[in-house]
């Protein structure tokens, strides 16, 4: 269905992050910092919602609402509600951003996007990741699908996905093939890929997978743990103790969120914001990160599950 894309910068708008649990989400801090830097009188809220209550919540939003950020468990379940998805959301089967838009007749429609993939890529590049030929992904959910697609964008040729039940992650093997990657789905107890250039853990915060990693891998490969409460996580602590480089999920959250801001402002994740570098700096400062994604303070943020 054709849509009318316009800049929404003048009037007050309302947005929110939706998911469960959501009480300690950092998305309001990030988005509020962005809209303040852009001079927009926009309000960004958080609402606890599970799939059973999702339809009613979305249907009850009035004309002031511009969109939603989605966390688990809504990234898959929202798909039947959106009129269209971007290429990345269609590829991964996961939507983390919903835009309230208008058709050419003025009817409200929902458009779905996935900014997780670009968020992972941008966070890892900002964190100093160089050449990638092989990637290791831990976990098999919606964020793991985005991690597979991100590995392809980073230039990987092969991805190893470690999960507790390989049969439940069979779809990731097909996704990898569509992205031009060879893939191996293996059990967590079988250990990691010692040749990986980057390791992306998509497990909920505080979960110790029990997977083994060689010291050589920990010292050589960059680790991105998409969760960040509690922090440091078991895998991050182990990685740092071995002398390895670690990024928390806050870095990914910031970089995917600035693309959400693009979507909410212009309707297009590829359209840069005015003074975008200043906006990004403000968002990083809101969660105490520097430009590389490293913490600028010892402050611990709380968010029980991967949010982006």
Active site residues per annotation:
75
DSSP state of 104: T
CA dist 188 and 81 (Å) reads 34
DSSP 113-140: E--HHHHHHHHHHHTT----SEEEEE--
Are the C-beta atoms of residues 220 and 131 closer than 8 Å to each other? no
Are the C-beta atoms of residues 164 and 187 closer than 8 Å to each other? yes
**What is the per-residue burial (b if ≥16 Cβ within 10 Å, else e) of 272-306?**
ebeebeebbebbbebbbbeeebbbeeeeebebbbb
* Structure tokens given for 273: 């914001």
CA dist 246 and 225 (Å) reads 8
Minimal CA–CA distance to 192: which of 171, 217, 175, 166?
A: 217
Q: In what order do the strands lie in the sheet with 13-19?
A: 42-48, 13-19, 65-70, 97-102, 108-113, 84-85
Are the C-beta atoms of residues 303 and 229 closer than 8 Å to each other? yes
Residue 138's DSSP bridge partners are 162, 201
CA dist 217 and 127 (Å) reads 17
Helices (H), 134-233: 142-153, 170-178, 215-220
Minimal CA–CA distance to 86: which of 192, 171, 3?
A: 3
**What is the per-residue burial (b if ≥16 Cβ within 10 Å, else e) of 108-127?**
ebbbbbbbbbbbbbbbbebb
């Amino acid at each position: 269905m054709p849509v009318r894309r316009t800049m929404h910068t003048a009037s007050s708008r309302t947005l929110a992050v939706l998911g469960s649990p959501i009480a300690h989400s950092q998305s309001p801090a990030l988005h509020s910092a962005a809209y303040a830097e852009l001079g927009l009188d926009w309000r960004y809220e958080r609402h606890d919602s599970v799939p059973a209550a999702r339809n009613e919540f979305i249907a009850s939003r009035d004309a002031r609402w511009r969109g939603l950020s989605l966390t688990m468990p809504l990234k898959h379940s929202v798909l039947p509600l959106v009129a269209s998805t971007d290429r990345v959301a269609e590829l991964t089967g996961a939507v983390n951003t919903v835009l309230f838009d208008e058709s050419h007749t003025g009817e409200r429609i929902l458009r779905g996007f996935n900014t997780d993939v670009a968020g992972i890529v941008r966070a890892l590049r900002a964190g100093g990741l160089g050449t990638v030929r092989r990637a290791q992904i831990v976990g098999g959910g919606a964020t793991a699908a985005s991690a597979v697609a991100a590995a392809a964008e980073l230039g990987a040729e092969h991805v190893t996905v470690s999960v507790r039940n390989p049969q439940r992650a069979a779809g990731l093997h097909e996704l990898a093939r569509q992205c031009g990657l060879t893939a191996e789905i293996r059990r967590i107890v079988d250990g990691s890929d010692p040749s990986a250039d980057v390791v992306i853990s998509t497990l909920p915060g505080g979960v110790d997978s029990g997977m083994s990693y060689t010291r050589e891998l920990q010292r050589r490969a960059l680790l991105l743990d998409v969760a960040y409460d509690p922090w440091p996580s078991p895998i991050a602590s182990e990685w740092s103790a071995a002398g390895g480089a670690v990024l928390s999920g806050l870095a990914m959250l910031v970089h995917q969120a600035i693309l959400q801001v693009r979507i909410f402002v212009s309707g297009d994740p590829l359209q840069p914001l005015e003074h975008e570098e200043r906006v990004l700096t403000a968002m990083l400062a809101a969660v105490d990160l520097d430009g590389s994604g490293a913490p600028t303070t010892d402050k611990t943020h709380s968010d029980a599950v991967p949010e982006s």
